[in-house]
Chains A and B, each alone.
Chain A
């Protein structure tokens, strides 16, 4: 507190160089704001901070399940994903895609452009258009910042919002306790899932991003049908089912949103051969 006070005095007396003063002013205002309304903290997240939060978020996921050690598959998923991201509203993010080496069927994204798909899900897909559908759904979450919305609402985050503001303000030198709180908030979101309406929105956007990129838009609905046809008691699907609306309601919502609108793109390629070729390769 005294440090802030001292700096405020310096600031008032014009003893700080211009840039530093402006920076400090911004930080001070931000701290005051977050003190007043802790949930506001994430509204101020800029692109760099978003990427930092996203990298920490991704570190938790790959901490739970390592990446698949198959460069050809990792590279392929990155190329498909990056191509799709170019057809989103945030083509300039530092998009990075990865495959989690787990039998579990799931896909995740984190703020700033990290997208992870499980080996178990890859193994159940039939073609590149289905992969495009899944990745586009995740890209939509990033574009619309759905994770930040969910983190703002998380309980752990409310309790630790001071920690969050510290986390955001401290630049390279992270406060360990702040980071721990933040990781807690991220885990809460991973376990609880994003808002239901945000999932439906990501489905609608995912279909369009895949079609804009030249793929058959029915890849994503086809994957959701595969999920619906699976055994709901299958432990490999448990977390995904717990954190998403049930496949039936997702299909109903897509059915109503798509109507005949996407039919003219239905003959766009699915690329089953290229998909199988990469997945079968050693």
Chain B
């Protein structure tokens, strides 16, 4: 039921459909989000696209009559004219407090330059962080809850020339 509701909300969320971008280079359009999937078309450089979905480095796009999956980093996004507040609403209720479950009125509490300039250090609040800190074994147990999360040995990427 809860899941069904989530799906409904996701389907109804207009912001995903509103996202648009353009290709930074000529790009193959794939039938599925894999390098070796069938190529179903080509996106020319600067072609405008509607972003319909994302999956692991791939984007499902629509461009004119063409549609399919392209590499995510072949696309740059057009900036939105509407703000987050009036566009994509978060599904999440992280603003709820722990015990009461009541939604806190967070209003428009920000953190801008002025807030930092006039901030007074609050060491007591920093000490609170320690209460939630995870030990190495906490973290390892947590990771093990999902066996898909596997350690990999990978070198850092060199700076591009």
Q: Which residues of A contact B (CB under 8 A)?
A: 55-56, 58-75, 78-83, 85-87, 91, 94-106, 114, 118-119, 122-124, 126, 183, 187, 190-191, 200-201, 204-205, 207-208, 211-218, 221-222, 225-226, 228-236, 238-239, 242, 247-248, 251-258, 260-263, 265-271, 274, 276, 279-282
A276 touches B119 (CB 8 A): no
Residue-by-residue, is B48-82 near A (CB-CB < 8 Å gives 1, otherwise 0)? 00000010111000000000000011011111111
A214 touches B150 (CB 8 A): yes
Query: Would you call B1 an interface residue if the criterion is a C-beta within 8 Å of the partner chain's C-beta atoms?
Result: no
CA distance A83 to B154 in the complex (A): 16
Smallest Cβ-Cβ distance to A248: which chain B residue: B76
CA distance A200 to B75 in the complex (A): 19
Smallest Cβ-Cβ distance to A230: which chain B residue: B80
CA distance A68 to B94 in the complex (A): 8
CA distance A100 to B125 in the complex (A): 11
CA distance A238 to B130 in the complex (A): 30
A82 touches B109 (CB 8 A): no
Known: A101-B109, A126-B54, A214-B151. 17 other contacts (CB 8 A): A60-B119, A61-B116, A64-B116, A70-B96, A75-B132, A98-B132, A103-B108, A103-B109, A191-B117, A212-B154, A225-B76, A229-B80, A230-B80, A239-B113, A268-B56, A268-B148, A276-B91
B126 touches A55 (CB 8 A): yes
Residues on A with beta carbons closer than 8 Å to the beta carbon of B79: 228-232
A74 touches B132 (CB 8 A): yes
A119 touches B95 (CB 8 A): yes
Partner of A64 from the list B24, B77, B119, B140 (CB cut-off 8 Å) is: B119
Q: Which residues of B contact A (CB under 8 A)?
A: 6, 19, 21, 24, 35, 54, 56-58, 72-73, 75-84, 88, 90-98, 101, 104, 106, 108-113, 115-117, 119-123, 125-126, 128-130, 132-136, 138-140, 142-143, 146, 148-160
CA distance A71 to B110 in the complex (A): 21
CA distance A81 to B143 in the complex (A): 11
Smallest Cβ-Cβ distance to B155: which chain A residue: A208
Looking at chain A's contact residues, is the secondary structure mostly helix, strand, loop, or mixed? helix
Smallest Cβ-Cβ distance to B120: which chain A residue: A63
Residues on B with beta carbons closer than 8 Å to the beta carbon of A214: 143, 148-152
A114 touches B129 (CB 8 A): yes
Partner of A218 from the list B21, B56, B98, B125 (CB cut-off 8 Å) is: B56
CA distance A80 to B115 in the complex (A): 28
CA distance A274 to B145 in the complex (A): 11
CA distance A144 to B134 in the complex (A): 22
Most buried by B among A103, A191, A201, A268: A103
Chain A to chain B: the 7 pairs with minimum beta-carbon distance, closest first: A279-B92, A214-B149, A256-B160, A64-B119, A82-B139, A59-B121, A229-B77
Residues on A with beta carbons closer than 8 Å to the beta carbon of B155: 208
B72 touches A213 (CB 8 A): no
CB distance from B73 to the nearest CB of A (A): 4
B116 touches A269 (CB 8 A): no
Residues on A with beta carbons closer than 8 Å to the beta carbon of B113: 191, 238-239, 242
Partner of A258 from the list B58, B128, B132, B157 (CB cut-off 8 Å) is: B157
Residues on B with beta carbons closer than 8 Å to the beta carbon of A221: 57, 72-73
